[in-house]
C-alpha cells in the first residue's frame, strides 16, 4: 500500500483505474495499492469458522451487560473493541468443536483474582446454582459480586439458539441462582468482579462448566 499526498489524476481520487491500481482512504489518509480481487473461499474449515464467527456476533448482540462489561474493560485503551476480542478469543477455542464447553465468559481484566472453584448444581425444575469458593482478598481489595452467565449448550457453528442470562450474588457465600430455565444442558461461565483500592474495578478470568436443568 502506497500512501499518497496528492493521488494521481485527481486530488481526491478513489476507486480503481484500469483494473490495476485502487485509490482509497483509510482513517482519512489517502493511499494507492494494487487491485486485488477478493476471494470467497468455501472449504469446509473456512465455512465452519465463518459460521462460528456469526454465532458469536449474535451472542454479543444478546449478551447481558455483566458479560459485555468484562470484555469492554479488557479492551479499554487497546486497539480493538470488546466485541472484537470476545468473538476472536471464542472463535479460537470453539472452532471445530461439537459443543460450547470451551466458551470463554471472561478473559480477565485489570488483575482480578479468579474463584478457587465454582460448583454447579441443579436446584429443581428450571433452576440451577453456581456456588463460588473465593480467594482471600488482597489488602484494600473487595469482592463486588460473583457473576455467572448461562445459555443452552449447542454446536458453535450453528445458529445461536436461546437467550443468554446472567445472575450475581454480592454477599458471601456467593451463590448466583437461575430460575425459569427451559430443560436442557447449559453452559455456565462464572467470574469475580473486584473493587481495587483506587475505586476502579477488576475482573477475574472465567471458569466454565456445564449443568443439566430438568
Domains of the chain and any CATH numbers: 2-34 (no CATH), 44-213 (2.60.40.10)
Average pLDDT over residues 55-74: 98
Instruction: Work out the mean pLDDT of the chain and round it to a whole number.
Output: 89
Q: What's the average model confidence in pLDDT over 5-21?
A: 53
Q: Where does residue 37 rank: exposed (0-12), middle (13-18), buried (19+ CB within 10 A)?
A: exposed
Q: pTM for the complete prediction?
A: 0.80
CA distance 59 to 160: 7
Rounded mean pLDDT, 75-83? 97
Q: In 3-state terms, what secondary structure has residue 200?
A: coil
Query: Among residues 157, 73, 83, which one has the least CA distance to residue 112?
Result: 73
| pLDDT at res. 10 | 45
pLDDT of residue 119 exceeding 70 = yes
**DSSP strand E in the chain: where?**
2-3, 15-17, 21-26, 29-34, 107-109, 117-122, 128-133, 142-152, 165-169, 177-178, 184-195, 201-205, 207-213
Mean pLDDT of 120-142: 97
pLDDT-derived band at 160, boundaries 50, 70, 90: very high
Alpha carbon distance 34, 133 (integer Å): 57
pLDDT on residue 26:
62
Amino acid at each position: 500500500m502506497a500512501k499518497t499526498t496528492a493521488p494521481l489524476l485527481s486530488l481526491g481520487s478513489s476507486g480503481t483505474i484500469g483494473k490495476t491500481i485502487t485509490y482509497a482512504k483509510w482513517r482519512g489518509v489517502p493511499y494507492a495499492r494494487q487491485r486485488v480481487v477478493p476471494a470467497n473461499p468455501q472449504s469446509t474449515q473456512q465455512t465452519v469458522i465463518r459460521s462460528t464467527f456469526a454465532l458469536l456476533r449474535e451472542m454479543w448482540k444478546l449478551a447481558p451487560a455483566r458479560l459485555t462489561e468484562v470484555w469492554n474493560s479488557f479492551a479499554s485503551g487497546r486497539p480493538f473493541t470488546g466485541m472484537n476480542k470476545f468473538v476472536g478469543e471464542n472463535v479460537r477455542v470453539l472452532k471445530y468443536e461439537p459443543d460450547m464447553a470451551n466458551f470463554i465468559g471472561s478473559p480477565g481484566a485489570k488483575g482480578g483474582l479468579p474463584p478457587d472453584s465454582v460448583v454447579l448444581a441443579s436446584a429443581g425444575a428450571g433452576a440451577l446454582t453456581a456456588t463460588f469458593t473465593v480467594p482471600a482478598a488482597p489488602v484494600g481489595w473487595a469482592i463486588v459480586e460473583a457473576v455467572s452467565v448461562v445459555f443452552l449448550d449447542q454446536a458453535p457453528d450453528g445458529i445461536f439458539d436461546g437467550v443468554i442470562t446472567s445472575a450475581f450474588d454480592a454477599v458471601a457465600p456467593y451463590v448466583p441462582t437461575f430460575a425459569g430455565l427451559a430443560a436442557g444442558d447449559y453452559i455456565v461461565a462464572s467470574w469475580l468482579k473486584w473493587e481495587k483500592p483506587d475505586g476502579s474495578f477488576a475482573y477475574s478470568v472465567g471458569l466454565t462448566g456445564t449443568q443439566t436443568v430438568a
